[in-house]
Amino acid sequence: MKKASFLSIFLFFAALAYSQTAIQQFVNNPALKHASVGVQVTDLKTGKTIVSHDPQKSLTPASVTKVITSATALELLGENYRYATRVALDENDPSRILVLGSGDPTLGSDAFGDNTAAFFINATDALKKELLPDKEYSIYVMDNLFGYDGISPEWTWIDIGNYYASGSYGISVFDNSYKLFFNTTDRNSPPRILRTEPEMKKIQFSNFLSLNISGSDNGYIYGIPFSYERTIKGNIPAGRTEFSIKGDIPDPGLFLGETLSDYLTRSGIKISKVETARVDYIAKNPISYKIGKVVHTQTSRPLKDILQEVNVKSNNHYAEHLLRLIGRTQNADIYSDPLQAGIDYVKKFWEQQGVSTTSLALHDGSGLAPQNAFSPAFLNEILFFMYNKSKNSKAFFDSLPKAGKDGTLRNFMRGTKYEGKISAKSGSIGGVQCYSGYLVDGNKQYAFTVMVNKFNGTRSQVRSAIEKFLSSL
C-alpha cells in the first residue's frame, strides 16, 4: 500500500471517529434529555453515510416538510412554471364577467415587493375597454379548482384562522390574510380594535385579548373557513397607538370579486352582483358559462422565485397551494381531493426514483400538521437526488436560505466557519426543531438532516447544540 493511500484512509477514519464522538456529545446534551433525535449526514459525492443516529426513525419535521414539497413541485412542473389568473367575458351571458382561478397564491401578495393592487388595476383597465357604462354587469369568480376544504384536516384548532394557516383555494388574494389593528394605550382596558387592512366589512370579532409589558406578540385570531365569526385571544404589548396581528380571510374568492367590483364601480362600471362558484359546487350544480374573450391574464413569477419565498421565508401559504396544484395535475376532477392527490403523487414520484417512502406520513405541504412524519434518511435521499440527478438542481439549491445570511437561517451558524456555506431549511413547531439541507465547503459536500422532537431544554439550547454538532463536520 502506498504511503499516500494509507494516510488518506487514516484521515478518513480519524474524521469518522471524531464525527461519531460529536454525535454522541450532541445526543447526550442535557437540553435533549428525553428527546427523540434522528441524524444523518451523507457524502454528496459518494452517497455514503458520514455519521448518523437513528436515521430511519420517523419524526415530526415541521417546516422541513417544504423540502419535499419544493423538490416534487420542481420535478413535476419545472422551474419556469407560472400560475395564470384570467379575466374573461361569458359568451353565454355578455353581462357576466368571469374570473378564472389557477390556484395562484401570489396574487396580490406583498412577498416580492410588487404592487399588491396590480391585478385589480390591470383587470379594471382591460374591462373598461370592453364594457358599456350604461349597462349592469355581474362578476362570477371560478375559485373551485381545489374545492373548498381549504385546510388540512390534521391542522389544530389553535392555528386555524391565523395568517400562517390561511386556506388554499382556486383563488387567493393578499396572501389570504388581513391585518387587525389595535390601540393599546389604555393599560386598564382591553385592546381597542381600530380597523382591518384591507377592510373586512363582514367579520365580527369577539375580543378576549389582554395586554403585556414584555413587548411580545402573543395574539391569535381563531375561526374556521367561510365563517365571519372570529375570536381573538392571547396578549399583545401595552402602550401602543397602533399594533397589528394577522388573520385568515374567510372567503378569498368572494373577497377578490368584491374588491374587483369596487375598482370597477369607481371607474364608472355598474356591478349588480358578485358570486363565486362555491354555492354551485356544494350543490353539484352544473355551471353554465362559456369562456369568451379573455381580456386580461395575470401571470405569477416563475416557480423558482416562488420557491425562494417558500423556503427562505418558510411561507406556508405558498407551500400548501403547491401541493394542491400537484394533486390537481394528477386528477382534474374538481370534486376530487387535491390535497390527498398531491400526497399520493409525492409518494409515487419518490418511489419511482428509488427512494423508500416507508417512513413517510404526509398530511400537508407546509409542515404545520403535527402528524407529519418521516426519517432523516428519507429526506437525505431526496437531497442527494436533487443535488446530483435533478435538472432543477440549481433552482432547488438556490431556494434554500443561507446560514447566517438570510431568511429563517439569518442567525443560524452566524460567526462560525460554515456561515454562508450551509444552505438548509429549518423547521420548528411546539417541541420540534429540525434542519435539513447542504453543507458545501471545498471538498466537504454533505447533505444533512437533524431532527429533534419533544426536547426538554429551551429552543435556543437545542439550536446551539445543533450548531455545535454541524461545526464538528
Nine-digit cell string for 127: 374591462
| β 136-142/177-183 pair status | unpaired
Which strand (E) or helix (H) includes residue 385?
A: helix 376-388
434: helix, coil or strand?
strand
User: Are residues 87 and 294 in contact, defined by beta-carbon separation less than 8 angstroms?
Assistant: yes
User: Are residues 112 and 305 in contact, defined by beta-carbon separation less than 8 angstroms?
Assistant: yes
Torsions phi, psi for 366 (to 5 deg): -105, -25
Cα separation, 193 vs 181, whole angstroms: 6
User: Which segments of the chain have a pLDDT < 50?
Assistant: 1-4, 6-14
Cα separation, 399 vs 373, whole angstroms: 23
Instruction: For residue 95, list its beta bridge partners.
Output: none
User: Are residues 152 and 321 in contact, defined by beta-carbon separation less than 8 angstroms?
Assistant: no
The strand order across the sheet containing 270-276 reads 270-276, 136-142, 96-100, 84-90, 291-299
pLDDT value, residue 18: 52
DSSP states of 109-154 as a string? Answer: --TTS--TTHHHHHHHHHHHTTS-TTSEEEEEEE--TT-S--S-TT
For the 11-79+305-471 domain, the top CATH level (class) is alpha beta
Q: What angle do CA 427, 433, 435 make, to 5 degrees?
A: 55
pLDDT value, residue 8: 46
Cα separation, 419 vs 415, whole angstroms: 6
Instruction: For residue 136, list its beta bridge partners.
Output: 270
The 3-class secondary structure across 178-244, one letter per residue, is: EEEEEECCCCCCCCEEEEEECCCCCCEEEECCEEECCCCCEEEEECCCCCCEEEEEEEEECCCCCEE
pLDDT value, residue 286: 85
DSSP states of 300-338 as a string? Answer: PPPHHHHHHHHHHS--HHHHHHHHHHHHHHH---TTS-H
First-residue to last-residue Cα distance in the chain: 28
**Which among 326, 401, 337, 440 is positioned nearest to 68, based on CA atoms?**
326
pTM above 0.85, yes or no: yes
DSSP states of 332-359 as a string? Answer: --TTS-HHHHHHHHHHHHHHHTT---TT
Q: Which tens digits make up the pLDDT trace of 295-336?
A: 999 999 999 999 999 999 999 999 999 999 999 999 999 999
Task: Tally the C-alpha atoms within 13 A of residue 269's C-alpha that lie toward its C-beta.
Answer: 24
pLDDT value, residue 224: 95
Cα separation, 361 vs 370, whole angstroms: 11
447: helix, coil or strand?
strand
Q: Which residues contact 26 (CB under 8 A, 6 or more apart)?
A: 32, 37, 39, 53, 465, 466, 468, 469
Cα separation, 49 vs 56, whole angstroms: 13
Nine-digit cell string for 187: 393599560
**What are the domain boundaries of the chain?**
11-79+305-471, 84-299
pLDDT value, residue 230: 97
Q: Which residues contact 148 (CB under 8 A, 6 or more apart)?
A: 169, 225, 226, 278, 281, 282
Q: Please give the single-letter amino acid code of residue 102.
A: S
